[in-house]
Amino acid sequence: MMKRPFEVERIDHVVFRVRDLERSIALYSSVLGCEVVRRREHLGLVHLRAGTSMIDLISLDGSLGARGGAGPGPEARNLDHLCLRIEPFDEAALLAYLSAHGATPLAAAEVNFGAEGDGLSLYFRDPDGNTIELKGPASVAG
């Protein structure tokens, strides 16, 4: 059996699809004390600091939120993906490992913003279709 080429350190961020972005920002910031650290209006995305992790909110009417189909409800999902912070991030080793376990990355690794800043990440789906992001260390401080 192939040796896993990384260790999971923690959850980097969770992404929720929301109906009313401003209402959700108010709850997470005012009620829970999370700080808005970045807004990406062109994506309908807001990043909030939650301790050492992040909570990302994506508006259903934004380009990212629309990809998930119907809005949150009994027959639709509101969790976009789970991101696990891993170490080290060796794209070739990750691709080989995932392939050996029947998991196909959705695209090549790309730089994405996370709890530590911008760094490489890879996405794939679990057997039930849930999207998992494997995120490496920040290459640029965020």
| pTM, full prediction | 0.73
Question: CATH number of the domain that 102 lies in?
Answer: 3.10.180.10
The pair of structure tokens assigned to 14 is: 């969770």
Across 66-75, 81-90, 91-100, 105-114, least confident range: 66-75
- Using a pLDDT cut of 70, give the percent of the chain over it: 96
Place of tokens 């392939």: 99
What is the pLDDT averaged over residues 20-49? 92
2, part of any domain: no
115, part of any domain: yes
Q: Provide the greatest CA pair distance for the chain.
A: 48
1, part of any domain: no
Please give the residue range of the domain that contains residue 51: 7-141
Number of domains in the chain: 1
Across 39-43, 63-67, 121-125, least confident range: 63-67
Three-state DSSP class for residue 69: coil
Q: What is the pLDDT of residues 104-116, one digit of tens each?
A: 999 999 999 999 9
The pair of structure tokens assigned to 30 is: 């005012």
One-letter identity of residue 98: L
Give Rg (Cα) of the chain.
15
